[in-house]
Amino acid sequence: MLMDSFEVENFRSLKHLKLEKLARVNLLVGKNNSGKTSVLEAIYVLTRIEVADWFELLESMRGLEESDQDFRSLFYGFNVNNTIKVKSTYKGAKRDLGRFRFQLEPIPESITRRRRKGQKALIVSIWLGGEKQAHVLEMTRDTGEEAVYESISEGADDFIEDGLPEKLAERHESNFLSTTISLDALSEQLSDLTLNREAETLIDIMRQIDPRIVSMSLDSKGKIYFDLGKSFSMLSPINLMGEGVQRLLSIVTAIASTSGGIIIIDELDNGLHYSALRTLWKGILVAAREYDVQIIATTHSEEALRHLTWVLDDEKQSVYRDDIAAYSLIRADDDTVRSYRHDYGQLEYAIEHGIEVRN
């Protein structure tokens, strides 16, 4: 099941936004401060809502130090009187499969633990699979401690222990790729794929960006090497390969490691030369289908959109035309963010007529 719609209210910079008719590969475009990254974060929280570490991961991606972390940063306008609401629907599902609400409340005095002065608890209410009764959890972050969930409602203890039901677990699997490539994380993912004999399909996809690639290997320290054929007397470390190879490898590896889930990518084409964009798109389109993942990504590049349309214009790639959708995000006068959807047939026209991509 692919996510079909997504709606968020009072989260980060988003007063309200709704995305409808999501495709397999979705691109968010718009001017700076249109809320693109906040959308990615809200989707990421939704996919990791059953474990409390989503908060720390979210803040670390913003580059905030532990001492700077505060639940108020999650709320639109830093106004804790707002209630954050996030929900999603899935293709083929008769009911909402994911919905949650955040509120801030004072920690009861009866709870004795080390905590920040004036700290409040984040009350997280989670509805799954159309359930009428929410699982209500309290998230706190004690001084020097990790964020933790404690149950409030009946049955929440079981939810914390067991996690998501089987029918939801796969679609709540996600991987967030930031603008920088972590070779250590990439190496770890590749090691797992190689151990489970799942790397060969990945190599086939990588050959689309560099046909010389024969194989890929990791040394005892986790460094990544490519065999580029008999013309090369030694293996080539990934550090010497082009940025296009590194970026595509990080994306495709994340896709292969999150089969059946959602890949969230901030600035998908970051650091890539325009000459690598077509190959990047071909690799992403192939991998998304091969591993049955859904991709939601941002871009600031009109060039990236143009190369996507050029790839899809090729009859050999026509099978992927229904797999993509682009959403132009525009902040309205009332500070809500409106989304305008463009499919393959509309995208080139939208680009030519000033689709909002950057300032």
The two structure tokens encoding residue 127:
């509805």
Average pLDDT per 10 consecutive residues for the chain, totaling 359 residues: 90 95 94 89 89 84 67 89 89 69 66 52 81 83 74 84 69 79 80 77 78 87 89 90 78 87 89 78 89 92 88 92 94 93 87 63
| pLDDT on residue 93 | 67
Indicate whether 238 and 122 sit together in one domain: no
Q: Tell me how far apart the alpha carbons of residues 156 and 98 are, in angstroms, rounded to a whole number.
A: 16
CATH of the domain at 239: 3.40.50.300
**How many domains does the chain divide into?**
2
| pLDDT on residue 106 | 62
Return the closest-CA partner of residue 270 out of 304, 305, 308, 309. Answer: 304
Classify 148 as helix, strand or coil.
strand
| pLDDT on residue 111 | 46
Indicate whether 204 and 158 sit together in one domain: no
Indicate whether 160 and 180 sit together in one domain: no
Q: Determine the structural domain holding residue 128 and report its residue range.
A: 49-168
Instruction: Give whole-number Cα distances, 25 to 97, 206, 324, 334, 339, in Å.
Output: 20, 19, 5, 29, 16
Residue ending a domain, choose from 101, 135, 168: 168
Residue 357 lies in a domain: no
Indicate whether 247 and 150 sit together in one domain: no
| pLDDT on residue 95 | 59
| pLDDT on residue 139 | 87
Residue 21 lies in a domain: no
Q: Tell me how far apart the alpha carbons of residues 250 and 244 are, in angstroms, rounded to a whole number.
A: 10
Classify 222 as helix, strand or coil.
coil
| pLDDT on residue 14 | 95
Residue 320 lies in a domain: yes
Residue ending a domain, choose from 120, 136, 168: 168
Residue 53 lies in a domain: yes
Residue 65 lies in a domain: yes
| pLDDT on residue 68 | 58
| pLDDT on residue 76 | 93
Is the CA virtual torsion 14, 264, 282, 232 positive or negative?
positive
Burial class (CB in 10 A: 0-12, 13-18, 19+), 248: buried
Bridge partners of residue 76, in order along the sequence: none
* Burial per residue of 282-315, b for 16 or more beta-carbon CB atoms within 10 angstroms, e otherwise: bbbbbbbebbebbbbbbbbbebbbbbbbebbeee
Indicate whether 190 and 158 sit together in one domain: no
Strands in 81-171 per DSSP E: 84-90, 98-106, 120-127, 135-141, 147-151
Indicate whether 311 and 205 sit together in one domain: yes
| pLDDT on residue 42 | 94
Contact 137, 150 (CB under 8 A): yes
Indicate whether 192 and 325 sit together in one domain: yes
Residue ending a domain, choose from 168, 199, 224: 168
Indicate whether 59 and 117 sit together in one domain: yes
Instruction: Give whole-number Cα distances, 83 to 30, 38, 44, 274, in Å.
Output: 26, 16, 18, 42
